[in-house]
């Protein structure tokens, strides 16, 4: 039987983390962000119990996408910055490939939580360069747009491996060589 309304406090097994985990599992299994109704059915609680933790579906959606993006590679800041950027970009594309529709979901969001996760990791990868903020922002925008375009191109392919993720390496290395020439006196 479903638990109705507000969670029952200490005895409740429902939590924000449990809701996010369930939403992630449903997204992976079904290929789309689940509705509150679908999520509540899976958790065997009333939909209003989910609203106790998340004020709206948009807030839940942001929490789920932030949790997903948080799984991408986390640069250590002590390796070669080019390797760090490549690993981060590959990791991000693999995430987008595993979750069809995730990119479109993130691009349609009004909040920027998932993008902020990528931004922080990108800045960490570039930290050895001590770039001016404007240069770092321009580079982030260029690479994010490239990755998103690549991810959309992969989605349009009728053969799954026609555009392997490693195909990003050549263009990214070109951008990094230009950047290196720009910062080297």
- Say what the pLDDT of residue 77 is: 80
Span 141-153, average pLDDT: 95
- Residue 181 pLDDT grade (very low, low, confident, very high; cuts 50, 70, 90): confident
- Distance (Å, rounded) from C-alpha 151 to C-alpha 162? 12
Q: What single-letter DSSP state applies at residue 45?
A: B
Q: Burial of 61 by CB count in 10 Å (0-12 exposed, 13-18 middle, 19+ buried)?
A: buried
Closest by Cα among 14, 9, 10 to 45: 14
Q: How far is 90 from 8, CA to CA, in rounded Å?
A: 43
In this prediction, what percent of the chain has a pLDDT beyond 90? Answer: 58
Among 101, 103, 124, 123, residue whose Cα is nearest residue 114: 103
The SS3 of residue 3 is: strand
pLDDT tens for residues 98-111? 887 888 888 888 77
Task: Specify the pLDDT at position 121.
Answer: 95
Q: pLDDT category, 12, cuts 50, 70, 90?
A: low
> Does the structure show a pLDDT above 50 at 9?
no
Q: Is the pLDDT of residue 67 over 50?
A: yes
CATH 1.10.10 fits 9-54, yes or no: yes
Q: Average pLDDT, whole number, for the chain?
A: 87
User: How many other β-carbons are positioned within 10 Å of the β-carbon of residue 157?
Assistant: 10
The model's pTM is 0.84
């Amino acid at each position: 039987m479903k638990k109705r309304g507000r969670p029952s406090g200490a005895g409740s097994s429902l939590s924000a983390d449990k809701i996010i985990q369930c939403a992630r599992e449903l997204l992976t299994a079904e290929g789309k962000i689940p509705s509150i109704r679908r999520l509540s059915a899976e958790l065997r609680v009333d939909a209003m119990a989910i609203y106790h933790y998340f004020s709206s579906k948009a807030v839940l959606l942001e929490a789920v996408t932030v949790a997903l993006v948080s799984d991408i590679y986390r640069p250590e800041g002590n390796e070669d910055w080019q390797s760090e950027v490549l690993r981060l970009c590959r990791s991000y594309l693999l995430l987008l490939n595993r979750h069809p529709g995730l990119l479109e979901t993130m691009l349609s969001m009004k909040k920027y939580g998932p993008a902020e996760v990528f931004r922080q990791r990108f800045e960490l990868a570039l930290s050895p360069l001590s770039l001016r903020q404007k240069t770092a922002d321009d580079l982030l925008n260029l690479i994010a747009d490239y990755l998103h375009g690549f991810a959309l191109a992969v989605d349009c392919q009728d053969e799954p491996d026609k555009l392997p993720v490693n195909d990003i390496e050549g263009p990214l290395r070109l951008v990094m060589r230009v950047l290196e020439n720009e910062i080297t006196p």
